[in-house]
Amino acid sequence: MYRLLIVDDEPFILQGLTKLCSRLTEPELEIYSAGTSQEALMWLGRVKIDIVLSDIRMPGMNGLELQGEIVKQWPRCKVIFLTGHSDFAYIQQAIRQGSADYILKTEGNAKIVECILAVANQLDQEQLVDMQLIEASRQRKVALPYIQKQYLNELIQGDDRSLHSLRDKFEDLQIPLDAGVPCLLMIVRIDDWGQRESLMDKTLFQFALDNMTNELLSPLTKVISMSYDKNKMVWFIQPSETPTDQGAFKRTFLFVREMLEQIQLTSLNLLKLPLSLALANSFSEWYDVPHKFERLNLLFHSGLGFGSELILLEPEFMPQTKNSSAEMRLTSVHFNKISYLKSCMENGQEEATIETLEELLAFASHSGAFPSAVQMELYYLLVAVFLPHGLLHSSNDAHTDQDLGRFTQFERYRSWHQICEEFTSYAKNIFEWQHAGMVVQEHELIQKIQHYVASHLSGDLSLSRIGEVVGHNPSYLSRLYKKLTGKGLSSYINEIRLEKAKRMLEQDGYKVHEIASELGFLSSQYFHRFFKKATHLTPQEYRELKRDSNV
């Protein structure tokens, strides 16, 4: 139901319009009437009005001024103006102000009803759009935790793109942290799930653990967490108030550190989940979060970290191994780059592939004297990425087979620089093979299409059918054919039909209707129009012209 307000200073017209609108069954209307602009404002101040039908010229406040007041109170209200022939200046201004429509008083009742129905339909459509937007917003809220997790995962994995416009991304994803303030990382490992084996059970208990931990930390912090492993979660922690000095960070760190045992005990008592926790030794700038996360996660992978129900604090200096420092090792950041490299190669992104490859190779070049452990590890990881591409292109190339054999032998290299050059060269070769293979496949596709067209001129030559034959979407096929040949597929089909039609017309053994049927035309008339449009001659005229030229 919509509320309609009728405004006119002439009582006779006002009564007539009210009576006319009250007889409408669709749309359902609740009708109000006003003999002055002031009375109209009174109704506008009391109830929500959806449609206003108003005279444009009235004493005191005219219709345009009334429209301005309507928009202030009810922005979505639709205004229909009744006007005379001399009011076109008013009409132009009304349209500029957003008037829904205007009706000449001479157009009669039918036009008024038509206009009201149109405006009501417009309101229906707007309500439908509003409902769709509300539903989209609801679905986004449901999906938001998953999207937040994806973004935070990119952040801790060192995806450079995740750091661009950090503040805007936090706001868009409703992440309750300040992009301009460092954060403190805490990792929680669930040591034993007990009898909770299903994914649903584990997800519910992770959710409960998240709520419990957030509640315990809430007095002095603002936090967000994400699960990144089957049994691990990471918390991003900041002071609850924007810090004005280092004291705020120190107080927050002390509070979180002293709450670790409470988190552990509460989880064990309420959720029956034994936990191990690891806390960073300092707040990190967002660009340094991947590095800090890697150091913190490493605590669970050595020494005491293999125990259970632990409380681990990141040491100021990571322990040294005999052959390499903890700083010079492949981390999750590098593994993420390797995954990105693989994706770039699979998607034909040559520039991004070379750039990412060079970053990885450059990192390993600083890992110590050749061959270092990092260099050997990275070498074999890259071989695993490159090898499938080499095998894909080696089936008919003995030289490539030989290269692949040499490529997998680390001991034949004398320097890391030599390995870098070989990987870079091999990457470029892969893209050359990909391009060459694409050209061959494109050529084969064009040949397949043209062969099918030539041998099925009397059959189904629709894009759908050709798409089925060659295994491509019809729309994509049409675009691809034009891109590769410079002409549309339909144009090519018409050219082939025209060429064959000419050859058949030049032979006396074929009648026009037989030619039309042979070329797949539905009727002789259709063939006649097609041929004349292409040659400016009828089929018979073309036949006679050729016959005369051969005499």
300 with 391, same domain?
no
Name the pLDDT band for 549 (thresholds 50, 70, 90).
confident
434 contact partners, CB below 8 Å, separation of at least 6? 348, 393
The predicted structure's pLDDT at residue 397:
53
377 with 251, same domain?
no
Provide the 10 A C-beta neighbour count for residue 197: 8
* 160-181 pLDDT tens trace: 788 888 899 999 899 999 999 9
What letter does residue 218 receive in the DSSP assignment? T
**In the predicted model, is pLDDT for residue 542 greater than 80?**
yes
**In the predicted model, is pLDDT for residue 433 greater than 90?**
no
Q: Residue 469 domain-assigned?
A: yes
286 with 187, same domain?
yes
Query: Across the chain, what does the average pLDDT equal?
Result: 85
Q: Residue 320 domain-assigned?
A: no
- In the chain, the N- to C-terminal Cα span, in Å, equals 83
Strands annotated E in 155-194: 184-190
295 with 178, same domain?
yes
Please, which residues bridge with residue 235 across strands?
A: 186, 225
Q: What CATH number has the domain bearing residue 497?
A: 1.10.10.60
Q: Residue 543 domain-assigned?
A: yes
| Token pair for 545 | 């012209």
- Tell which of 424, 448, 464 closes a domain: 424
378 with 413, same domain?
yes
* Full domain range(s) for residue 243: 157-313
Q: How far apart, in whole angstroms, are the C-alpha atoms of residue 398 and residue 332?
A: 37
* 298-337 pLDDT tens trace: 888 877 778 889 999 988 765 544 444 444 678 777 888 8
* 137-161 pLDDT tens trace: 777 677 788 888 989 988 888 877 8
**In the predicted model, is pLDDT for residue 485 greater than 70?**
yes
397 with 545, same domain?
no
Please, which residues bridge with residue 223 across strands?
A: 237
What is the count of structural domains for the chain? 4
- Tell which of 313, 345, 362 closes a domain: 313
471 with 388, same domain?
no
The predicted structure's pLDDT at residue 322:
44
Element (H, E) at 29: strand 29-34
309 with 336, same domain?
no
163 with 279, same domain?
yes
**In the predicted model, is pLDDT for residue 488 greater than 70?**
yes
Q: What CATH number has the domain bearing residue 168?
A: 3.30.70.270
Q: Residue 61 domain-assigned?
A: yes
- Under 8 Å between Cβ of 49 and 70: yes
**In the predicted model, is pLDDT for residue 264 greater than 50?**
yes
- Tell which of 111, 129, 147 closes a domain: 129
Q: Residue 115 domain-assigned?
A: yes
The predicted structure's pLDDT at residue 328:
65
Q: Residue 231 domain-assigned?
A: yes
